[in-house]
Amino acid sequence: MTKSFHLVVHGATGFTGRLVVEYLLQRYPAGSGFRWAMGGRSADKLAAVRDELGAPADTPLVVTDVANPASLQALMDQTRLVLTTVGPYQLYGSELVAACAAAGVDYVDLCGEPAWMRQMIDAHQATAQASGARIVFSCGFDSIPFDLGVFMLQNEMHQRFGHAASRVRGRVRKMKGTFSGGTAASLKATVAAAADPAVMALLRNPFSLTPGFEGPAQPPCHKPMLDDALGLWVAPFVMAAINTRNVHRSNFLLGQRYGADFVYDEMLVTGAGEKGEAFAHAVAADKSLGSDDGPKPGEGPSRAEREAGHYDVLFLGTDTQGNQVRVGVTGDRDPGYGSTSKMIAEAAVCLLNDVPSLAGGLWTPAAALGQPLIERLQAHAGLTFRVEAA
């Protein structure tokens, strides 16, 4: 059956959803051959946002009320892929994942909620494998730059030395911009869900997304420290809790290509000497993201603020013989909004167009999309992936 759309943006009236629509209007306008639609619960609100964005009047609008079984089924019947920006996913995403898995419809999201992701893996992996649905979580700043950065580093290690780096450090060297209101809301929902001991156990386990596999002990990354590999102070990085788990799941899905003894952590570089140490402790003490004063869903920075943002992440890999590879990943917009909206859009198009042989299942960006996505992001989304000199 030929479907009406390649892609429907569920949540197109939200802040991040609007940015995705803006990007699709620029990259895949009417007549490009790529058919996409704006989706949301209210037809009137969709029409208003379409007009506010200056989108053509004939831009397709689809009511996507995932709490309404008839609306959800209609969505499945109309599109090959659902791109959803509606979080927290543990509150608003379960029915949509279940429907996509059952219907064989592809799916991408911005999820950074590992306990919910594991619940979805347990519930729907077999169904998605049977239907052919390719479900890819975490297609924004968490966790594409990190997941693909480690993927590229390990490919370089294999090419140079014939084996993986058993130890990789992810180090955020620079970052300007804000985390999204959705990230803050997801953090609050996760904290609330952690009252359940089973959820807390998943949140504490670095291998929570690798059912049946438990790797070696992982480095502590919850307090400031002097990084002996860089000679610089580093502080806890708020996205490490999701990124590290996605990286370990990628290794799992890739048949332990990074090694069964793979060790990975992420930290934020704060600098050298006493100043770096003081900054590291200040970062560790900052709890603003989870506070009531943090960003709210639907809110976000201005266009000028988004375009002034950027990030730069180093991945430093070593093997047991002391061989080393360094990979740098950069983005040209603020991480939580400007860059994320481009990444998820290109991840969706990559899933539809570039990996036709990918089987159904619940995937990570690196394991599902790998090198084709790296190439897309460099060509269109303002990211760079580079092997650096030691």
For the stretch 42-67, pLDDT in tens is 999 999 999 999 999 999 999 999 88
List Cβ<8 Å contacts ≥24 apart for 124-129: 124/97, 124/98, 124/362, 125/361, 125/362, 127/101, 127/102, 128/100, 128/101, 128/360, 128/361, 128/362, 129/359, 129/360, 129/361
- Whether the per-residue pLDDT at 289 is higher than 90: the answer is no
* 309 domain residue, yes or no: yes
| Number of structural domains the chain divides into | 2
- Work out the average pLDDT over 286-314: 79
Is 78 found in the same domain as 14? Answer: yes
- Of 89-103, 185-199, 220-234, 339-353, the least confident: 185-199
Q: Quick one: 200 and 149 in the same domain?
A: yes
Has residue 232 been placed in a domain?
yes
- Give the pLDDT score at 245: 95
Instruction: Tell me the pLDDT of the chain averaged across its residues.
Output: 93
Regarding whether 149 and 72 lie in a shared domain, the answer is no
Co-location of 220 and 245 in the same domain: yes
Establish if 354 belongs to a structural domain. Answer: no
Query: Which CATH number covers residue 82?
Result: 3.40.50.720
Return all residues near 306 (Cβ < 8 A) that are at least 6 apart. Answer: 177, 300, 333, 334, 337, 338
Residues 81 and 166 in one domain: no
User: Is residue 82 located within the same domain as residue 149?
Assistant: no
Contact yes or no for 27/100 (Cβ under 8 A): no
Residues ≥6 apart with Cβ < 8 Å to 161: 319, 321, 323
Tell me the C-alpha distance between 338 and 23, whole Å: 10
Residue 373's Cα: distance from chain center in Å? Answer: 13
Any bridge partners for residue 384, and if so which?
Answer: 330
Residues 129-173 pLDDT 10s: 999 999 999 999 999 999 999 999 999 999 999 999 999 999 999
Q: Is the pLDDT of residue 35 over 70?
A: yes
Among candidate residues 113, 136, 159, the one where a domain is terminated: 136
Q: Do both 172 and 45 map to the same domain?
A: no
Same domain, 163 and 310: yes
Q: 39: which strand partners?
A: 10, 62
Reported pTM: 0.94
Of 136, 152, 175, the domain-final residue: 136
Query: Average of pLDDT values for 24-50?
Result: 94
pLDDT digits (tens, 9 = 90+) for 208-257: 999 999 999 999 888 999 999 999 999 999 889 899 999 999 999 999 99
How would residue 291 be classed by pLDDT, with cut points 50, 70 and 90?
low
Residue 179, pLDDT > 70, answer no
Does the residue 365 lie in any domain? no
Same domain, 175 and 280: yes
Grouping H, G, I as helix, E, B as strand and the rest as coil, residue 315 is: strand
Asked whether residue 340 is domain-assigned, the answer is no
168: in domain:
yes
pLDDT at 54: 94
Measured between alpha carbons, how far apart are the two ends of the chain, in Å? Answer: 52
What does the pLDDT average to over 377-381? 97
Parent domain of 76: 5-136
User: How many percent of the chain have pLDDT more than 90?
Assistant: 80
